[in-house]
């Protein structure tokens, strides 16, 4: 029986120094023809949810057509500025080593569960040469659903379709840096390892109910042990 490991991306594996917020602001102005007053909170949210909330903040109804146009422009903007991801960002300390250690194991299937749209997720990991370490086909992304818990079941179903194994809360581990990641895992059907590498403190992640909270991923052996034990 294999463990399905699902990684959050932003502030768990990589950081890109506010680029996402800049792009959202630019796309809002492009799509609506209005100046951007505020971009919605991004922590633990999906691109669908961020887009809808940003529009609502400006008094604009997030109709399906408008959401589709916004998401398309968002993907194009990230594509045109993807060179900035590496220039301005970094892979977080220890992330590569843990990904490599898990990728070498035959008892692990490793993918992503992220609020980013799939192409954006690929740009971010490719910028730091991490893309070959995860199976993007079985991941779940910010264009798939507005609510993050839904993404867990979707990733499990995709992994089942590809690998012919059933994945549930006993065999799925989600790693993320926000209370929303913890909530998504528990409501969606996964155990959660949280890392205090984003804006949430260790105590906040513990209070959210994570099975274990790590300060970082810098201790490769400890991180791998935690992930594997959570999936047993």
Topology of domain 3-15+90-230 in CATH is Rossmann fold (3.40.50)
Note the pLDDT tens digit of each residue in 161-210: 999 999 999 999 999 999 999 999 999 999 999 999 999 999 999 999 99
Cα(43)–Cα(24) distance, integer angstroms: 14
Residue 232 has pLDDT above 70, yes or no: no
pLDDT tier at 231, thresholds 50, 70, 90? low
Residue 230 has pLDDT above 90, yes or no: no
pLDDT at 18: 87
pLDDT tier at 1, thresholds 50, 70, 90? confident
Burial of 25-36, coded b for 16+ CB within 10 Å and e otherwise, reads: bebbeebbeeeb
Note the pLDDT tens digit of each residue in 18-67: 898 999 999 999 999 998 888 888 887 888 999 999 999 999 999 999 99
Q: What percent of the chain has pLDDT over 90?
A: 87
Note the pLDDT tens digit of each residue in 133-156: 999 999 999 999 988 999 999 999
Report domain extents, the chain: 3-15+90-230, 19-85
Which string of DSSP letters, residue by residue, matches 70-117? HHHHHHHHHHHTTHHHHHH-EEPTTHHHHHHHHHT-TTEEEEEB-SS-
């Amino acid at each position: 029986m294999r463990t399905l490991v699902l990684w959050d991306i932003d502030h768990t594996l990589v950081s890109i120094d506010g680029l996402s917020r800049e792009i959202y602001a630019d796309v809002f102005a492009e799509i609506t023809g209005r100046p951007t007053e505020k971009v919605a909170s991004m922590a633990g949210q999906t691109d669908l949810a961020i887009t809808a909330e940003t529009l609502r903040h400006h008094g604009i109804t997030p109709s399906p057509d408008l959401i589709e146009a916004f998401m398309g422009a968002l993907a194009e903007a990230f594509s045109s500025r993807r060179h900035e991801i590496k220039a301005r960002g970094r892979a977080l300390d220890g992330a590569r080593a843990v990904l490599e250690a898990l990728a070498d194991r035959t008892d692990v299937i490793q993918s992503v569960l992220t609020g980013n749209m799939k192409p954006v997720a690929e740009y971010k990991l490719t910028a730091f040469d991490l893309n070959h370490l995860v199976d993007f086909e079985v991941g779940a992304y910010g264009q798939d659903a507005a609510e993050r818990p839904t993404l867990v079941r979707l990733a499990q179903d995709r992994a089942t379709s590809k690998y012919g194994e059933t994945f549930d809360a006993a065999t799925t581990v989600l790693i993320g840096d926000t209370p929303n990641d913890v909530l998504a895992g528990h409501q969606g059907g996964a155990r959660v390892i949280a890392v205090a590498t984003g804006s949430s403190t260790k105590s906040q992640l513990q209070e959210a109910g994570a099975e274990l909270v790590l300060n970082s991923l810098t201790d490769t052996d400890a991180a791998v042990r935690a992930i594997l034990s959570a999936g047993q």
